[in-house]
Amino acid sequence: DGGITQSPKYLFRKEGQNVTLSCEQNLNHDAMYWYRQDPGQGLRLIYYSQIVNDFQKGDIAEGYSVSREKKESFPLTVTSAQKNPTAFYLCASSIGETGIEQYFGPGTRLTVT
Amino acid sequence: EDQVTQSPEALRLQEGESSSLNCSYTVSGLRGLFWYRQDPGKGPEFLFTLYSAGEEKEKERLKATLTKKESFLHITAPKPEDSATYLCAVRRANFGNEKLTFGTGTRLTIIP
């Protein structure tokens, strides 16, 4: 089955700790994205990557970091510098310029207390 | 700055009662307008891409249309399983700009 997987589904952390969210895709898509979803707000872009070993900041990159060492994987680290990390995090991928639709994973709900 | 506004915020319909959801947008050159369905606690599920004014796409009880300023998602004779939040997003036409701008969604409830 082709698709996007995110793990874990739920994640709980104490304030001050860094945490890494996993995103893997087996769709052979070139581009991958991280969004954050908060109640009453539209999805907001954190980071995106169009090719391996390259990524760009989105609208709300502060307090987050990413890497893209493999085409299939795009992990997101939420650092202690992120002021309001509790949110629903969504990973997406797209083919690239030949296909602009973005397909989403199931999401990770992060709670920081 | 690109903007997407969806209305209404919430809509309750009786089963079989057709209606439309609205997505108004402003973008500097539209590359595509997207509709997604999102169930509670899950990731958005892709429904449609519309590229230019006048375009229409259909899938089961859903039909999406596009003008130069807005898109409508028409739901015909809905069933309870159509209950979900429907999200609209736009992408600008700049090469290399991968960003989607999302609206806040319309939460649709179909009452049996």
Beta-carbon count within 10 A of B35 CB? 24
Question: If we measure between CA atoms, which residue out of B106, B107, B109, B111 comes closest to residue B24?
Answer: B106
| Of A7-16, A97-106, B56-65, minimum mean pLDDT range | A97-106
Interface test with A, best of B46, B98, B102, B107 (most A CBs within 10 A): B98
**Single-letter amino acid, residue A22:** S
Nearest CA in chain A to B95: A97
Residue with tokens 């500097």: B28
Q: Is residue B72 pLDDT above 70, yes or no?
A: yes
Chain B contact probe: residue of A38, A102, A110 with most B CBs at under 10 A: A102
Q: How does strand B30-38 pair with strand A54-57?
A: unpaired
Beta-carbon neighbour count of residue A51 at 10 Å?
12
Lookup result for tokens 């739901």 = B75
Distance CA B111, CA B46 (A): 24
Output the average pLDDT for chain B.
Answer: 95
**Residue B76 has what pLDDT?**
98
| B25 neighbors B50 (Cβ within 8 angstroms) | no
Residue A68 has pLDDT above 70, yes or no: yes
Chain B contact for A23, CB < 8 A?
no
- Please return the burial class of A49, using the count of CB atoms within 10 Å of its CB with bins 0-12, 13-18 and 19+: buried
pLDDT of residue B98: 72
Would you say residue B110 has pLDDT above 90?
yes
- Rounded CA-CA distance B90/A92 in Å is 15
CB contacts < 8 A, A to B, total 56
SS3 B57: strand
- Alpha carbons A76 and A2: distance in angstroms, whole number: 21
pLDDT of res. B93? 79
* Interface contact B78, partner A, CB < 8 A: no
pLDDT at A35: 97
Distance CA B41, CA B21 (A): 22
Is A76 in the B-facing interface, judged by CB distances under 8 Å?
no
Query: Which residues sit opposite B101 in a β-bridge?
Result: B90
By mean pLDDT, which of A1-5, B13-17, B34-38, B49-53 is the weakest?
Answer: A1-5
Q: What is the pLDDT of residue B96?
A: 63
> Tell me: the pLDDT tens digits for A87-109?
999 999 998 766 689 999 999 99
A32 to chain B: nearest residue by CA? B98
Helix (H) or strand (E) holding B30: strand B30-38
**Helix/strand/coil percentages in chain B, nearest 5:** 5, 60, 40
